[in-house]
Structure 1
């Protein structure tokens, strides 16, 4: 085992558009949220392996960490007894909220394996995606791309990932709906539509594809021309969530409250049903509000 200390960090992500449809081959756009992050350190020693957690819901977090870590060791055909020392982990990414807690954890653990010289550095994305399959069954890799990215990236399931051109910075904000997202339930909603109404499913996917392309085009323009197109794109993405039946009344209430505060377009981000919501504004939101807003570009 290497004797020098290890440290890494991974951040949350926000999907601008492309959720669910990405599994059908549609593109998606994802942005990093550097204000929400996770840091993992390791100090080698001769003592048995231990984990110090500095995060809310410590017991749940420990379970997620060790399940993911042990699964990684199995994939690498390594044993826990080969590692001696102390992990120190800090986290302020909310679990089960659709902003990429699991992907950040998978990226951080994969970087530890790379540091241990058990994995080549160019395997970061693919190995982290395999780890994320533990959480979500079949991972497209979109969340992993967001956890690694430094800028907004265009992602396709085929493996194409590239930064997109941006000529202005929209006023995008995140807010928590107050309800945890349920990925498996959301995925089942979408699967049911694909099975029962394939033509409807294709139409929804196509609308989401157009939303992604419209966002990319709007960000290449100046703010004056780009903002109306961006607003329309977010509205289209939100309509896809409505068509998938992924906006229950309690989530719709939160969306309505954001509109009342002045947001010009709002959509869920992530799986839907609950979790975080992405809102677009044409001016800085009011500071005196019961809804806590986090800028995704600060």
Structure 2
């Protein structure tokens, strides 16, 4: 009888131990891992790297950033992704690549690292990036969550007929005042882009702001003014606006901006 009791206890202990191991293993599997995405491109950039100091963000860099952000949004991995794009026209940034991969005699750009795994050229990137990102984040492909781009029924979305950007600001906001001074000095960027401004001082504009955040994959609970939506990008804070807005406008992003308005708005 005692032997049976001991055997029963052993079975219980082993079962509990196995159950704990399974819980730890499965829990670790389903937890998102941090995804560090480093991409190296080569963009001569019109010679602005002559002194190894870029005069402004390069077009190829901006396009690659947008591609990567769209990709992680599509896979629902924005929150766990850390994206950096480097232009190897700059010696310092090329040295970063040289420290990770042999670039001679010639490397096929772009070079994309997802953590420590590298993809070379657009063919490898287009065919392998989804699987690699999901594997690195430890997300089962059939269960990934896509960004919610659904629209509230009380709002309409349409493509702009002229280049514009949508700017949300708040009163008594230092960064907003700096942004307004910056925009005032640009005078609609020589007519290249109209800036539509909303003040976040009412429930209606707050709902509109939330719709824009939903459309552009921005967390409205953590986002704040100043913020500008242009093309398919969101620029949050004066530093981002000062750095990127004019470049985006010059590259035609304003003509791709989505207009969102209430159904009763004319």
Fold shared by both chains (TM-score > 0.5): no
Larger RCO (CA within 8 A; separation ≥ 6): 1
Rg bigger for which structure?
Answer: 2
Q: TM-score range by the shorter chain?
A: under 0.3
TM-score by length of 2: 0.28
